[in-house]
Structure 1
Amino acid sequence: MSDNTTASSGGQTAAPATTGRRVPTRYLVLALIFIITALNYADRSSLSITGTSLQEDLGFSSVQLGYIFSAFSWAYVVGQIPGGILLDRFGARRVYALILGLWTLVTAAISLVGLITTPVLVAVTVIFVLRLLLGVFESPAFPANARVATAWFPTAERGRATAVFNSAQYFATALFAPVMGWVTHQFGWRWVFVLLGVLGVVLAVVWLRWMDSPRHHPRVTPAELETITAGGGLVDLDAPKTGTSDAPKLQRARLDRRTIAKIFSTRALWGVYVSQYAVNALTYFFITWFPVYLVQGRGLSLLEVGFVAALPALCGFAGGLAGGFFSDAMLRRGYSLTAARKVPSVIGMGLATSIALCSLTDSSPLIIAIMTLAFFGKGLGSLGWAITTDIAPPQATSFVGSTMNAFGNVAGIVTPIVIGYTVQATGSFNTALWFVAAHGLLSLVGLAAMGTIRRIQFDEP
């Protein structure tokens, strides 16, 4: 039976028959989390576009701006494990709706800072706190994405699915950087945060009204449900936790101390953590200091930066999609899961190290070309979420995703601060570029430490 057959599942009344090709519901789910993730990254990267104007308006120093850039990640890291526990307990639908609404309010609130005369230290503190809250509220988002992908996609499609939502970070820059640059140029930096707030409210309503688990979603056909289930999708991951016979065992499994101890003693997961940290170091350079580098280091105008920053982002987006599709294509051609996930990762992160070459030239067009290549490679090699969905034990999918995201986003604390101090001490971005490039090599160490990629199974206590 085709995925496109229109019928009902889970005991629901059959839907009317339709003619023509029907888009599988899992692809619509993926489109929705892609759009939400793009907004997620637009929110967290908004200061990279507005940072120069905000710095001039409120009087921040480079070090203060570096700390503000890092504030998000301090809270984002701390919030990962509690966020994962909430997801394992309450499911992605409810948790995602709540956090999307909360992070939207915090983003919009930044527009109010400094409307009345405010001492610099007070303004720094207020924005720092708001960015901390943004980090807390966004912390479950990517683990929720991974949880949705684990439930809605068979293993052979999961590389593509995770690549699509992960590549939203590049699409966000490609789409929103020019828009935010133009809005800042025309109306001022405050209106960027108002715009993002309005978009967040709309998406929170759409998510809450339309999203459900695969087995209970009214649009899912029996054929599509069979495709997902037979292919290894955990369709009951967010099913109601009842005591009836149809309640899946993985939902009744407990995330206890014994399981957590096993997770933190598993070498493969530590390989994922190290690799994700390295990948995120490049990400956070791009969404924090890169636009500032173009303004202060290369002399571009703010309006030019919005469009120039979109070029590496578009190539990062293309690389992210290419990595996922390349990985799944290798699986279809009979390569092992380990080879299918690692080969694109190694190639991509090798290319990402080319960012160091920017320190060897004064040509702005050549620098943009190198950045474009580096971020294509970074996108190609960003398969950490696919690997996590492949190896996480069923009773702790969100917990493992959250711990991976926590370790990975320590880079969001370290990278902006190190670059801030480096730029202030040297008056140049050259050392900072070498620092960022070194993380491409670190990611290869993590990939080697993973060993064979397969789902971890823990016996129930």
Structure 2
Amino acid sequence: MKGLKRIPLRWMIISLFVGAMVINYLARSIMGVAAPTILAEQGISSAQYGWITGAFQLGVLLQPVAGYFLDSVGLRIGFTFCVIAWSMITLCHALVNGWAGFAALRGLLGLAEGSAQPAGQKLVAEWFPSRERGLAGGIYNIGASFGAVFAPPLVAWAVMTHSWRLAFVVAGGVGLIWAILWYLHYDTPARHRRLGAAERDHIAAGQEDRLSARAERPSISALIRRRDLWGIALPRLLADPVWGMLSFWMPLYLARVRGFDLGQIALFAWLPFLAADLGCLFGPAVVAFLQRRQVDLIDARRWAFTLGALMMTGMAFVGLATNPYGAIALLCLGGFAHQTLSVSVITMASDLFARNEVATAAGMAGLAGNLGVLVFSLLLGQMVDQVGYGPFFILLGLLDLLGAVILWTLVRKPQ
């Protein structure tokens, strides 16, 4: 216990938040892993499944509302409310039948779960000096990948024990327990009773004066007029469909194209998310490496994004792989590359926007990212039975190169 007391409080806070990200992405990933079983049992078509996944993205499109809510009421109360909401909605998945019922619940789940990334960016902005934000952002995004890692074995266990419905019950129940822990243990640095003076000074000394919180509430219209917002939002529009493919469509692809059964899906479908975990750490490591060589923070993040975009081109060859395990390897490369670039651009919200507007800005960038997933999912659902998955993998392999160009063109380095 003495060793634990020496861990800086800010790292214990971010570790607690990792739990929320694990639960968040576990809850949203169960549907994709269980899709082969649910679609067969419920008689749901690929097009209808496209609307189910699209409904989730429609809900997440309201991420700016979640961000504004968190900026207005704070993380302790606001995020507790959001986690309770998504946990209850997750529990309700165990009671529904038919694609329309799933679509309705997925829309509500997307609305509640859309709070996670804005909350994470607000947490990083408030609790960490600038040089630690990349690592802190990478650590909490590991939770997203681990949530997806845990989904395949959870679904397999649930199906063998009872049914796929049990997986939703477990994820919802764990979320309710976590919400209680968050409410009891979280507060802002200014109010946290366990934060020592030395650590408080360390946090304050490493934060930019230009990003200090202001008294007024964030202005949506002012944020929309800033090219920095578009500079991080448009690359996310192009990048996030990869995560949608891995989370919602990869199990179906493995089952229908590669001939995997549920046991094989449970054995292999988590590997791209494990690779994504490594990407969450690789992106910040690249940024830290460049900063040690006197590269500006914003430029370092842009170079990390660009490196991830170059690696993402391997995704274009998934459909051409003759060996299913070769396809898995390329999907792993895609997960690694995506999180390398994703954590870099997501963290830029805390580098560019003031403390009282960072969650709103992150939510607006998240809106763009989830709009990309929505459009991609609907196109995939409507066309996959006619053209197959190959063209979509090629598209995913190339979009991030355009995102890198946009990031270098629109984002301005703060003076």
**TM-score scaled to structure 2, two decimals?**
0.95
Instruction: Tell me how far apart the structure 2 counterparts of residues 291 and 341 of structure 1 sit (CA, whole Å).
Output: 32
Query: How far apart, in 1, do the equivalents of 2:123 and 2:79 lie?
Result: 11
Shift of 1:419: 1.1
Aligned to 2:41: 57
Alpha-carbon distance in structure 1 between the residues aligned to 2:413 and 2:30: 36
The 5-angstrom pairing of residues 35-434 of structure 1 reads 35-77=19-61, 79-114=62-97, 123-232=98-207, 250-256=213-219, 260-382=220-342, 383-426=344-387, 428-434=388-394
Could you list the per-position Cα deviations for residues 79-118 of structure 1 after superposition, in whole angstroms to 9, with x for gaps in the alignment? 222212211210111110001001101111110113xxxx
Looking at structure 2, the residues matched to 375 and 327 of structure 1 have their Cα atoms a distance apart, in angstroms, of 19
Larger CA Rg, structure 1 vs 2: 1
Q: CA offsets per residue over residues 118-177 of structure 1, 9 Å max, x none?
A: xxxxx2211111111111111222101100110000000001111111232222222332
Question: Within 2, Cα distance between the matches of 1:164 and 1:83?
Answer: 22
Contact 2:72 2:217 in 1 (8 A): no
In 1, the alpha carbon distance for the partners of 2:305 and 2:48 equals 35
How far does the alpha carbon of each residue in 1:344-383 deviate from its partner, in whole angstroms, 9 at most, with x for none? Answer: 1111121112111112222111111111112211121121
Structure 2 contact 29–151 (Cα < 8 Å) conserved: no
Q: Is the 8 A contact 2:312 2:398 kept in 1?
A: no
Q: Is the 8 A contact 2:67 2:363 kept in 1?
A: yes
Distance verdict in 2 for CA 1:20–1:90, change over 3 Å: closer
- Whether the 8 Å CA contact 1:45–1:288 is kept in 2: the answer is yes
- The aligned length equals 413
Amino acid at match of 1:136: L
TM-score by length of 1: 0.85
Shift of 1:437: 2.0
Is the Cα contact below 8 Å between 2:93 and 2:105 reproduced in 1? Answer: yes
Counterpart of 2:403? 443
Task: Write the letter of the residue equivalent to 1:170.
Answer: S
User: What's the offset of the Cα at 1:21?
Assistant: 6.2
Name the CA distance, whole Å, in 1 between partners of 2:257 and 2:4. 54
How big is the shift at 1:255? 2.7
Equivalent pair of 1:66/1:417 in contact (CA under 8 Å): yes
SS in 1 for 2:200: helix
Higher relative contact order (CA 8 A, sep 6+): 2
CA distance in 1 between counterparts of 2:414 and 2:83 reads 32
- In the alignment, structure 1 segments of 5+ residues that lack a partner are 1-17, 115-122, 238-248, 456-461
Residue identity matched to 2:381: G
Cα deviation digits, residues 371-423 of structure 1 (max 9, x gap): 11122111211212211110013442221111111111102211211111221
Give runs of ≥4 in structure 1 deviating > 6 Å.
18-21
Identity, % of aligned positions = 26
Tell me which amino acid in the other structure corresponds to 1:361: A
Whole-angstrom CA distance in 2 between matches of 1:76 and 1:326: 30
